[in-house]
Chains A and B, each alone.
Chain A
Amino acid sequence: MRLYEFEAKHLMEKSKIPVPQSMLIKNPDEAKKAAEDLGKVALKAQALVGGRAKAGGVLFADTPKEAEEKAETLLNMKISGYKVHSVLAEQFLDIKKELYLSVTIDRIRHQPVIIASSEGGIDIEDISRKYPEKVITHHIPVGESISPYLGREIARQIGLKGKDLTTVGAVITRMYNLFLKYDGKLLEINPLAVTDAGFFAADAVFNLDEDALYRHPDLKEMGISVRHELGELSEREKKAQEYGFPYVDLEGYVGVFPGGAGFGIAAIDLIKKYGGEPANFMDSGGGPTVENMERMIGLLMDNPKVTGIFGARFGGISRCDLWAEAVIGYLKKRAGEGKEIKPMIMRMTGHMEKEGQELFERAKKENPVLFENVKVYGIETPIEDVIIEAVNVAKERRG
């Protein structure tokens, strides 16, 4: 979970990591005032996405009037689909040199690692490929804090001396402590700007483990809560997020109601493999509530692009009969509201499979028209046969 730059820098400032003087701006008028206070400023669009500079999200202003105009431009722009939240106006830095510092978790060695380089800036990945010797990595034993000497040693290894060495050494140590304190996944300063006035974190990325957010109530007080990171959300994605289940819109017409996320990913591969185009990714596993199941199916039925739905249920936690009841109940309710029922080709297996099948059979007898296009296979039918049928039905209905 990514923080806004201004949030990251606020936390860094509290940890005595040097950041430029700044003001957070929500309208052009505030930008004018900021420039009056700070002089020449860098105006930086705040969005939860990288590649900002390349997208034109950082502008410089020499005068308050210029700041006002440019802030307006930034406040109205989108970066990779993200709306700009606000603009951070920072005192302009006359940068002599750029360093790179980060702390992250090495998922190969399963240890935190500090990464540092004397060659910071946007080309750091190229540099690490071409000149690996210019990038220092230092792994830290799990569960240990670090002693300040280690920060100094890393500073020495990237070529610093004298006061620079002790200053940057302290920054590294404080970064590591901050990373640990808030259950960080990544804390990156790129670049750490070298100026005549000292070192400053010119840009900062701080990603936290959202699963550990519950133990940091002070972040909640700062307005930092779990947030979505997949670019601008469609209306359907917003709804799903509100209801609390993972959902991503795709381009196609086969609705996917797959059960667990792992099989959801497989279903997308298989639908494509058998000549169809999936309309969505969804995680409907783990035994969703009746209410959420209705919302899941509703999202797919209401999507005008969807011409048929593939559904699967492999009961690990919850029971097939309850699942069947929820599906049947929703379809009846929907028909009662006069809404369209699109074909559903499904497979249901697991705990109480027989009872679930009986419910579908009874529903079909009672409402042959309504359930005409609802098919539910059981454990004896290979899942791919069901996918192929769903693809064919959805394709046919598309004409």
Chain B
Amino acid sequence: MAILVDKDTECIVQGITGKQGSFHTKLMLDYGTKIVGGCTPGKGGQEVHGLPVYDTVRECMERHPNVTCTSIWVPAAFTKDAVLEAIDAELKTVVIITERIPIHDMLVIRKKAKEKNVIVLGGNTPGVISPGKAKVGMLPESAFTEGRIGTVSRSGSITYYLGNTLALAGRGASTCVGIGGDPLIGTGYEPILKLFEEDPETNGILLAGEIGGIYEEMAADFIKTMKKPVVAYITGLQAPKGKRMGHAGAIIERGMGTAQSKVSALREAGARIATTFSDIPRLLEERGV
């Protein structure tokens, strides 16, 4: 089954006529992703790599009612509009490749996504890949091999190294998910962990987090309830201390956001903590996966 994307998942590409959108559409098709069309306002009727281009997502859905997943390759200024269009058209998974989306736009996206139970990955995600089946985004497929570990990470480059680490250890992944490197993202760890917990093809979960933000801490409560083992790799323990701004953040967040606070929260929740990539296969083994 894998999660989020499978070989039968029908996908579209928003911003398919742009340079990046078009380039990666080709790579996704080559990998086996079932892309049925794309969307660029005002360019309906054109074709990209033999795929039909539509003006609106609704129009696309009228022709291809089984589409559930989209990736967004439009500039940051148009991203909110593109995502809301996808959510309104009842898509279930939205992958925002675009980075540096205004925070107040992300608040609106996140609220809508929650209301309609949509998984929004990103901004600033390399996407999601179920190795050997399908990928949505720009992940380099050579990093990933098929297996039974689910990975979830904020950083794109770390996602590649996790896939690569599993592959070199003779393991492999069921699905690798980038939830996005922007400071405020559409979906935290928890909804992804939930999907892995329920996925019969995933035996254990590898979670990567990094200094800054509070998404790792927010995942701790759910990890406590999980049956499948979780190994967490947190980076930034040696990062130079940044400066803090104002008091309001400290009043609300109370000491969260450091690499150490993430390690503590996840360890307390029952995750095993890796401090290097090479720790990962060993810790997974120790947890019986």
Give residues in A with beta carbon < 8 Å to B.
2, 49-50, 80, 100, 102-108, 110-113, 115, 124-125, 128-129, 135, 137, 142-143, 180, 183, 185-186, 188, 190, 205, 207, 209, 211-212, 214-215, 229-231, 248, 250, 258-266, 268-270, 272-273, 278, 281, 285, 314-317, 349-351, 353, 379-380, 382-384
Residue of A nearest to B127 (CB): A316
Contacts of B158 in A (CB 8 A): 260, 262-263, 266
A122 to B250, CA, bound (A): 13
> Which residues of chain A have C-beta atoms less than 8 A from B216's C-beta?
none
Chain B residues engaging chain A, CB cutoff 8 angstroms:
20, 76-77, 100-105, 107-108, 110-111, 126, 138-140, 142-143, 153-158, 160-161, 164-165, 168, 181, 184, 210-211, 213-214, 218, 235-240, 242-254, 275-278
- Whether the Cβ atoms of B252 and A314 lie closer than 8 Å is no
Q: Which of A106, A143, A250, A265 contacts B211 (CB 8 A)?
A: A265
Shortest CB-to-CB span from A305 to chain B, Å, is 16
Query: Which of A230, A262, A350 is in CB contact (< 8 Å) with B155?
Result: A262
Structural contact, A104 and B277, CB atoms closer than 8 A: no
Distance (whole angstroms) from the CB of A398 to the closest CB of chain B: 19
- Interface contact A104-B252, CB-CB below 8 Å: yes
Report yes or no: B155 in contact with A261, Cβ–Cβ below 8 A. yes
Known: A108-B214, A379-B143. 18 other contacts (CB 8 A): A103-B248, A107-B249, A112-B107, A115-B251, A137-B252, A142-B111, A183-B103, A209-B104, A212-B105, A260-B155, A262-B155, A265-B235, A266-B210, A270-B276, A281-B240, A285-B157, A349-B143, A383-B164
Decide if B251 touches A128 in the complex (CB within 8 Å): yes
List, in ascending order, chain A residues with CB within 8 A of B243's CB: 49-50, 80, 229-231
Taking CB as reference atom, which chain B residue is nearest A1?
B245
- A248 to B240, Cβ gap below 8 A? yes
Determine if B245 and A314 form an interchain contact, defined as CB atoms under 8 angstroms apart.
Answer: no
- Are B250 and A349 in contact, CB atoms less than 8 angstroms apart? no
Shortest Cβ distance from B168 into A: residue: A382
Residues A104 and B248 in contact, CB atoms below 8 Å apart: yes
Interface pair A281/B239, CB less than 8 Å apart:
yes
Residues of A within 8 A of B156 (CB): 260, 262, 285, 316
Smallest CB–CB gap between B124 and chain A, Å?
10
What A residues does B250 contact at CB under 8 A?
125, 128
B246 touches A349 (CB 8 A): no
Contact of B249 among A104, A112, A269, A317 (CB under 8 A): A104
Q: How far is the CA of A229 from the CA of B218 in the complex (A)?
A: 27
A108–B254 CA distance with the chains assembled, in angstroms: 11
Which one of B101, B160, B245 contacts A186 once the chains associate, using CB atoms below 8 Å? B245
Shortest A87–chain B CB gap in Å is 21
B236 & A269 in contact (Cβ 8 Å cutoff): yes
Given contacts A183-B103, A350-B140, contact A266 B235 (CB under 8 A): yes
Residues on the A chain within 8 Å of B252, using CB: 104, 106-108, 113, 115, 137
In the complex, the answer to whether A382 meets B165 with C-beta atoms within 8 Å is yes
Q: Are B248 and A115 in contact (CB under 8 A)?
A: yes
* Chain A residue, CB-CB nearest to B185: A110
A88 to B235, CA, bound (A): 41
Chain A residue nearest to B217 in the complex (CB): A108
List the 7 shortest-distance A-B pairs measured between CB atoms, nearest first.
A262-B155, A260-B157, A212-B102, A263-B157, A104-B248, A350-B140, A266-B235
- A230 neighbours in B (Cβ, 8 Å): 242-243
Please indicate the chain B residues that have their CB under 8 angstroms from the CB of A110 in the complex: 107, 110-111, 184
Can you list 29 contacts pairing A with B, beta carbon distance less than 8 Å? A102-B247, A104-B246, A107-B213, A107-B252, A108-B214, A111-B107, A113-B248, A125-B251, A142-B110, A143-B111, A183-B102, A188-B246, A209-B102, A212-B104, A215-B77, A230-B242, A262-B154, A266-B277, A269-B236, A270-B276, A281-B240, A314-B161, A316-B138, A349-B164, A350-B160, A351-B140, A379-B142, A382-B168, A382-B278
Is the CB–CB distance between B77 and A186 below 8 Å? no
